[in-house]
Amino acid sequence: MRNIFASFAVFCCLAVPASAVTVTEPPDLADGLSTASSIGTLDLGLNTITGEIRGECEDLGTGILCNSDAVDLGDTQDSLIFSIGPDELLTTVSVIGFGDHPEDATYYVAITDASLTTVLAVDYYDFNDGGSFYAGLGEGTYSVSIFGGTASEEDGFRLRYDLALTVAAVPLPATAPLLLGGLGLFAAARRRSRRKNA
């Protein structure tokens, strides 16, 4: 009986995630206006992070871009660092943006690895729009950045956004219950053998 309880305890420990998804905001590379801060730990299920970026849409000779540094207007980019442990998956990342903007303004959302050298996903949306654009981040460290895109006229912009993230536990391998059941049967058979020999 003691062996069965031990097997059950092992199964329970395997089934409970021991790690977490932590989120921090480093100083943004584009404007340097954001200071580093810890946002916290995401729970299993749906989590929402709300933020805001502001800037100026200006014609820089190659078109009107909405990521000009404008210290008086605020922060033109938000970047969040996600550290995902071995027991969790970030299954979906979606965004919705809304705010004041010039005509036809867009914003970008990008996911990269921690070194910022490998782009895993990038998409752009009209202001007052958004969508689900990535799924399936496993163990590792990643950056999610939100920044202004393009517009058809020059003006200031202000984008408020909700970043929705769904966290799930890594499922146990299908063979784990079979293995534990086999160990329990082996322990029971061994115990019965000892009784017969006694």
pLDDT in tens, 58-117: 888 888 988 766 545 567 788 889 999 888 888 888 888 888 888 888 999 999 987 778
From the CB of residue 129, how many other CB atoms can be counted at a distance below 10 Å?
Answer: 13
Query: What is the number of alpha carbons within 13 Å of residue 131 lying toward its C-beta?
Result: 9
| Greater model confidence, 82 or 188 | 82
Q: Give the pLDDT of residue 13.
A: 45
Q: Average pLDDT in the 124-153 region?
A: 87
Q: Give the pLDDT of residue 141.
A: 92
Domain ranges within the chain, ordered by starting residue: 1-17+174-198, 19-169
The class that CATH gives domain 19-169 is mainly beta
The token pair that represents 97 in the structure block: 């943006």
**Mean pLDDT across the chain:** 77
- For residue 165, pLDDT beyond 60: yes
Which are the contacts of 151, defined by CB distance < 8 A and separation ≥ 6? 57, 64, 66, 101, 102, 103, 104, 105, 106, 157
The position carrying tokens 């014609």 is 59
The token pair that represents 116 in the structure block: 């910022």
Check: CB of residue 129 under 8 Å from CB of residue 157: no
In which element (H, E) is residue 47 found?
Answer: strand 45-59
> What percent of the chain is predicted at pLDDT more than 90?
5
Check: CB of residue 84 under 8 Å from CB of residue 142: yes
